[in-house]
Amino acid sequence: MLLLSNFRTPVGGSATMQPDTVMSDYQWWLIRDSRGKWEVVSYGYG
């Protein structure tokens, strides 16, 4: 399953993202295992 989200990064920044930046259509790829539990397997752009 693909989920898309929009969010603003923290003003202080992080190790991997530009500070105070709007992220649009950020992708979260999920799969469901045999027990029915969802897991994020990939995220980011493209």
Between CA 20 and CA 1 the distance in angstroms is 28
What pLDDT, in 10s, does the model give residues 6-27? 999 889 877 778 889 899 999 9
Percent of residues, the chain, with pLDDT higher than 70: 93
**Domains: count for the chain:** 1
Domain that holds residue 28: 2-13+21-44
Whether 45 contacts 18, CB under 8 Å: no
For residue 3, what are the CA distances in angstroms to 6, 11, 38, 40? 10, 24, 12, 10
Is this prediction's pTM over 0.75? no
| Confidence at 45, pLDDT banded by 50, 70, 90 | confident
